[in-house]
Structures are given as C-alpha cells and as structure tokens.
Amino acid sequence: MRGFSVIELIVVIAIAGLLTATATVSFSSFRSSTNLEAAGDLVKTTLEKSRLSALTKEDGSGWSVKINSNNLVWFKGQTYNPEDSTNKLVGLPDGTQVSSVNLENSGSAVFFNTLTGTTSPGNIVISLLADPAKTNTVYLNRSGVVARSSSSVLSKPITDHRHLHFNLGWSIQGALELKFIFSGPAQTETVVMAPYFNADGASFDYSGEFTVGGSAQKIRVHTHSLTAADTLLSISHDMTANTKAVEILIDNKSIVSYTAAGVATAGAFGGTMTQQ
C-alpha cells in the first residue's frame, strides 16, 4: 500500500484551504446579514419606546432619539443637548451604520408629540460598513407608526384608535353649531347640532367628512357623558386620514386646535384635555 505523493498532499491541502476560506466567507456574510437585521430591529424598537414614553409623558415629557451614523442617543424632551448628563447612548451592532436619515423636518432627531404620538414622517436607512449597498430601512408615518417595510405598506390606511377626551366643565346641551375652521387652505364648515342629540339631550354623536384642498378630513365629535351641568366630550381625529390644521368650536367656543401634524392644543373652552 503506497503513501500519498507530494503532489497529492498539495492538492489535499489546497482543497482543505479552499473549503475553509469558503466557510469563513459564508459565516462572515451570515454574521453581517444577521447584524444588519439586528440593527433594523434595534432602530425600530428604540423609536417605538420613544413614542410610548411621549404618550405616557415619561419623566415629564418623554424621550426622543438622536440618530447618528454609528449610534442612537436617547434624550429628554424634544431639544437635543449633547452635554446633557441624562442622555443615554445606544450602540449599533458591529459592522453596521446609519447611512441616511430622511425626515420631513430635515433633522436627525426623532420626537413624538405627547397625547397624539404623531411625528415627522420619513425613513432611516441602515447599511453595512463593508457593503453600503446592503441596506435595511425603518419607516415612520405621520401618525407615529414605525415599521420595517416598504413605504407603500405604511401609506395604506392604518386605523388610529386614539382620541382625546375633554372634561369641559360646562354643558353643551342646547348648543346650536359645531364649527370646523380649517387652514391650508382656509375653509370653514358649520354643522347644525340639533339632529345629533338624542331625544332627551343626554348624548351627542356627530361624524363627518370634509374635502379640504383635495384631501378628505374625517372627524368624530361625541359625548361620553352629558348633563345639564357638565360634558365629557370625545374627539376622534384620525391622523391617517387628517392632514390639515383645524380648530373645532361649539357655538364659537374654541374646544381644540390641531396642527397639520396632529399636535393638539386645548382651546379656551376645552377644559381638561386627556388622551384615551
């Protein structure tokens, strides 16, 4: 029985080396792909936590996120101060980077509005350092929904169940007109309230749709409780359907104003505003 020749040994060693190199490249490629997926998940989760903190007014005003090329920074409120000792650094997985931040407000910080959870829409693109062509994109829509999917998915109707409650401290029984004053473009819609009260005036429920600047605006105004002395009013202003600034009044008493981005401010007669 003869042994291996030198040439045969060289061939075996070469094949073993090739197999090892192939396995190393495959493992490296797998690890890079895994890290890219993890980076996308990290950005998405961080933004979702930021939105939740804004809705609950965590630590008074919630936390926002500064997006840097190699990390994320949690910061209190909506104004980033790099010297703030409360800032929290979140590093990205090895071999990944944020290659671009494309928000409507042209900034690199994401903050969500308290009470409504709305934000500046856009996307954040994460890529591999070694291969920038390989990317993972996180999308935000105006209502504050965060997703790792195509922007076309986010553009589909997504039900926004949040609505605001107003403990008015006065009664709308006997009120005559519900008014919506839109801007951008300016347009006023007036609704006679009488048909939307029940027989004994103990509840009110109006839902309407208006076309403003070519866009449909859908708003519901109804009561949760209504007595001769007080009103608990609810306004549903779905940010997936409403894109125009509007002020809502009852008998010319301002209840609430919404910006085009959905930020709500209680009017002089809006009483105590809370989110449900």
pLDDT score of 154 more than 60: no
**Are 40 and 47 within 8 A, CB to CB?**
no
Residue 162 has φ and ψ, to the nearest 5°, of -65, 145
| Confidence grade of residue 235 (pLDDT, cut at 50, 70, 90) | very high
Per-domain boundaries in the chain: 34-154, 164-275
Q: Is omega for the bond preceding 195 within 30 degrees of 0, making it cis?
A: no
| The pLDDT of residue 261 | 73
CA-wise closest residue to 165 among 117, 116, 234: 234
| Confidence grade of residue 2 (pLDDT, cut at 50, 70, 90) | low
- The 10s digit of each residue's pLDDT in 31-74 is 677 889 899 999 999 999 999 888 888 888 889 999 999 999 99
Residue burial 32-49, b: 16+ Cβ < 10 Å; e: rest = beebbebbbebbbebbeb
pTM of the model: 0.53
pLDDT score of 4 more than 70: no
| The pLDDT of residue 21 | 56
**Are 227 and 169 within 8 A, CB to CB?**
no
- The 10s digit of each residue's pLDDT in 65-108 is 999 999 999 999 989 999 999 999 999 999 999 999 998 887 89
Q: Per the CATH hierarchy, to which homologous superfamily does domain 34-154 belong?
A: minor pseudopilin epsh domain (3.55.40.10)
